[in-house]
Amino acid sequence: MAFTTLNVFYGTIVHSISIDQLEIASNSLLVVDNDKGVIVSFEREVNDVEKFLEKLDRSYKLFRLTPEQFLFPGLVDTHAHAPQYLFAGSGMDLQLLDWLNTYVFRAESSFKSSQVAKDAYTKVVSRFLRNGTTTCSWFATIHLEACKILVDTIQQLGQRAYVGKVNMDQNSPDFYIEASAQASLDDTRAFIEYTLEKQDQQKLITPVVTPRFAITCSSELMQGLGKLAQEYKLPIQTHLCENQNEIEFTCSLFPKSKNYTSIYADHGLLGDKSYMAHCVYMTDEEIDMLAEYNTGISHCANSNFSLHSGVCDVRRFLNKGVKVGLGTDVAGGFAPSMLDAIRSSFFASKCTLMAHRDRKEKYEHLGTSELVYLATLGGARVLGLQETIGNFAVGKAFDALVVDLNSENGSSVDLMGHETPLQKVEKFLFNGNDQSLAHVFVQGRRVAGSASSLE
Ligand code: GUN
Ligand code: FE
């Protein structure tokens, strides 16, 4: 029994069963197979722990959670730009297209240097892990070498990730554009091959086909990317209907398509593995299209406020059965934290609620159960990972946070002491930060956390 093969957590376990069902299980046991990083057992309301442990036929280590601690699923960020992290929180004066031209393209072009990429990517991935983002869907830049560095960095640091080499072959500055549609497709294929070769058994990292948005991609390029995604059975991510000027310009570039959403459909980019960031300004017809294609959306509320793009009413998408997850959209969104994405989504839904004040129909803002779902299981569904992560179902990977609200351990949360378990979860969502995350696990491996170690 020298080698510990199981980790057993005993205490309060919080996760989403569905969008309207948040389970808070007290006195419960979660058993994790350390070799595979997979959940092998979830026992609710266990009063005699010793008796349960006696039944285990393998060596184990028991972690008793305190009343201020609970297990929470790892957070899933469905949309973030890794190369934009270092200027997050600066240059917040402009709207989307001016912001891209003034700040973003110049900053991203510096990732031509492998050293710039190494330094920046180590910082951003470490920061996201510390903030509890166990899975992230990343946009990188157009540079093949820097994209490979992002993959290597993520692999070293242990995050689960989708990584996209960005495609841009038109309407981009001379210093930040690919030579041709074919050159862009060739580099994308090389990136996909590199990433697939690097995949280990657990497949923590997946390449994602990433046309930046229709403005910077020719028809030939988008068509080719759709075919590449099909050939390798890969997901596709891009931006859609974020800003009114953007929509107008986009539609003027592709007059044969009926609307912005149709541009992607007409180029073979919509499908059940695709997900679209923002979707602030969508007609009912366009939302119906997403539902028909089973294409998901990434709701990036901080970014939609910060670039004053608008307020996305995600209730419209949820009501039509469209898959919805949350995204930080760093650096359109200034915060590299999914707790912030939860709070921003809460504000956005309160804005929509206030806009409904004088209307007849009833409107419900996003509640606690919905917010947790969108940041975990909902995001997992958007990424097609609902069988692997998102909650603590037996058989799923142990991607998890040990939340510790005890301020003596450094948490940013102070408790009255008589909170209900649900109130503790809400305090974490609204007042917690990286200091409230004692341990962060991906596939059973501890990859970050404010506590010094797992002991
Ligand atoms: N649309 C095209 N590129 C970008 C980007 O980098 N950020 C955001 N928010 N929107 C985009
Ligand atoms: Fe974005």
> Each residue of 299-351: pLDDT tens digit?
999 999 999 999 999 999 999 999 999 999 999 999 999 999 999 999 999 99
For the question of an ipTM over 0.90, the answer is yes
Q: What is the mean pLDDT of residues 238-253?
A: 98
Pocket around ligand 1: residues whose beta carbon is below 6 Å from it?
81, 96, 100, 104, 212-213, 239, 242, 303, 329, 332
| Residue 2 confidence class, pLDDT cut points 50, 70, 90 | very low
Lowest mean pLDDT among 109-123, 250-264, 282-296, 347-361: 347-361
Ligand 1 atom closest to the Cα of residue 84 is 6
What's the distance, Cα to Cα, between the start and end of the chain in Å?
A: 18
Residues 306/288, Cβ–Cβ less than 8 Å: no
pLDDT at 361: 85
Question: CA–CA separation, 432 vs 404, rounded Å?
Answer: 9
238 C-alpha to ligand 2 centroid (Å): 8
| C-alpha 406 – ligand 2 centre gap (Å) | 35
Pairing status of strand 133-139 against strand 60-64:
unpaired
Range of weakest confidence among 18-22, 199-203, 260-264, 431-435: 199-203
* pLDDT higher than threshold 90 for residue 80: yes
Rounded mean pLDDT, 72-99: 97
Spatial distance between the Cα atoms of 17 and 27, rounded to a whole number of angstroms:
18
The alpha carbon torsion through 42, 391, 82, 114 (nearest 10 deg) reads: 40
Ligand 1, closest atom to CA 333? 9
Look up residue 211 and give its amino acid: P
Mutation choice for ligand 1 from 77, 79, 100, 142, CB with most ligand atoms inside 8 A: 100
Residue 309 CA, closest ligand 1 atom number: 9
- Rounded average pLDDT over 15-43: 98
Q: Which residue has the tokens 């890794």?
A: 82
Count Cβ atoms below 10 Å from residue 150 Cβ, excluding itself.
Answer: 31
How many angstroms does the Cα of residue 329 sit away from the middle of ligand 2? 5
Q: Residue 88: helix, strand or coil by DSSP?
A: coil
Cα(118) to ligand 2 centroid in Å equals: 21
For residue 300, give the ligand 1 atom closest to its CA. Answer: 9
Average pLDDT score, the chain = 97
* Residues 193-199, mean pLDDT to the nearest whole number: 97
Taking the CA of residue 246 as reference, the ligand 1 atom at the shortest distance is 1
pLDDT (average), residues 3-12: 90
Ligand 1 centre from 224 Cα, in Å?
21
The rounded Å distance from CA 90 to ligand 1 centre is 15
CA of 239 to the centre of ligand 2 (A): 6
Dmax over Cα atoms in the chain, in whole Å?
Answer: 69
Which of 77, 84, 99, 104 is the best mutation target for the ligand 1 pocket, counting ligand atoms within 8 Å of the beta carbon and taking the most? 104
**Ligand sitting nearest the alpha carbon of 94:** 1
CA of 326 to the centre of ligand 2 (A): 12
pLDDT at 359: 84
Top-confidence residue, 3 or 351 = 351
Q: How many CA atoms lie within 13 A of 149 on its CB side?
A: 23
From its phi and psi, is residue 367 left (phi > 0), alpha (psi between -120 and 50) or beta? Answer: beta
pLDDT tens digits for 367-395? Answer: 999 999 999 999 999 999 999 999 999 99
Per DSSP bridges, beta strands 437-442 and 400-404 are antiparallel
Nearest CA, atom 11, ligand 1: 239
Q: pLDDT category, 1, cuts 50, 70, 90?
A: very low
- C-alpha 427 to ligand 2 mean position (Å): 29
- Ligand 1, atom 3, residue with closest C-alpha: 212
Amino acid identity, residue 13? I
Mutation test residue for ligand 1: of 329, 330, 334, 344, the one with most atoms within 8 Å of CB? 329
Minimal-distance CA residue to ligand 1 atom 8: 332
Mutate which of 84, 176, 212 for ligand 1? The one with the most ligand atoms within 8 Å of its CB, which is 212
Under 8 Å between Cβ of 165 and 210 = yes
**What DSSP designation does 76 have?**
E
Radius of gyration of the chain (CA): 22
Q: pLDDT at residue 140 above 80?
A: yes
Find the mean pLDDT for residues 145-166.
98
- Cα distance between residue 207 and residue 194, in whole Å: 9
Task: Give the Å distance between the CA of 72 and the centre of ligand 2.
Answer: 27
Burial grade of 398 (CB within 10 A; 0-12, 13-18, 19 or more): buried
Closest CA to 336 of 103, 121, 90, 125: 125
Q: Which atom of ligand 1 is nearest to the CA of 332?
A: 9
Q: Which residue has the tokens 């005890």?
A: 406
Cα(239) to centroid(ligand 1), Å: 7
Which residue owns the Cα nearest ligand 1 atom 9? 332
**Distances in whole angstroms, Cα of residue 280 to Cα of each of 300, 316, 344, 346:** 9, 11, 14, 15
Q: Is the pTM of this model over 0.80?
A: yes
Mean pLDDT for 4-29 is 97
**In the sheet where 133-139 sits, what is the strand order?**
75-81, 133-139, 160-164, 205-207
Average pLDDT on 237-243 reads: 99
Which of 167, 242, 300 gets mutated to test ligand 1 (max ligand atoms within 8 A of its CB)? 242
Rounding to the nearest 10 degrees, give the CA dihedral for residues 3, 49, 429, 86: 0
Q: What ligand has the least distance to the C-alpha of 334?
A: 1
Name 21's bridge partners: 18
pLDDT score of 453 more than 90? no
Say which amino acid occupies 172: S
